[in-house]
Amino acid sequence: MDLSGLSFLSEADLKSRLTSNELRLKNAQSKLKDQTALVDENKKRAQNFVDLFAQGIVSKKELEGSSKDAEQAVADLEEAKGKCKDLELTVKAMKDRLSVLQKRKALSKANSKLIGSFETRKQNKSKSRLPSKQKIESKSSLAETASDKSKK
């Protein structure tokens, strides 16, 4: 998988692909284990054929065939190792990216809460600073009474 495209995936898509790649990795690791056993088996068989050829029991063609099988098993093992390593790196990159997305999401929620509480405090302060309607009316009536007294 091209890892450069990970930054463009949504969290849901990333989780889906991560699950898929984890399954692929598990299967590849199982095949790697089987391939390792096959290499050991083919190497033993090739060694037995060397001994049997020396005793004249098997032909040179059979000896060469067992050697080729052993060599092919080793090549397949190396390929399986490479596939496992690639999948491990992909899974790790996906987990790292998912972690970043989840941290950003958590920070965004925390920031929203902070902004919300700041706005609430700001509104509460502005409400307490504004005189109530009754205070305004009583102040205006006091002012009228004072002006009436000064006229007299």
**Single pTM value for the model:** 0.66
Per-residue pLDDT at 47: 96
Per-residue pLDDT at 7: 79
Per-residue pLDDT at 63: 95
Who's near 79: CB < 8 A, 6+ residues apart? Answer: none
Residue-level pLDDT, tens digit, the chain, 152 residues: 567 778 788 889 999 999 999 999 999 999 999 999 999 999 999 999 999 999 999 999 999 999 999 999 999 999 999 999 999 999 999 999 999 999 998 888 888 877 777 667 666 666 655 555 555 555 555 556 556 555 55
Contact 45, 135 (CB under 8 A): no
Per-residue pLDDT at 113: 75
Percent over 90 (pLDDT), the chain: 61
DSSP secondary structure string, 32-96?
HHHHHHHHHHHHHHHHHHHHHHHTTSS-HHHHHHHHHHHHHHHHHHHHHHHHHHHHHHHHHHHHH
Per-residue pLDDT at 136: 57
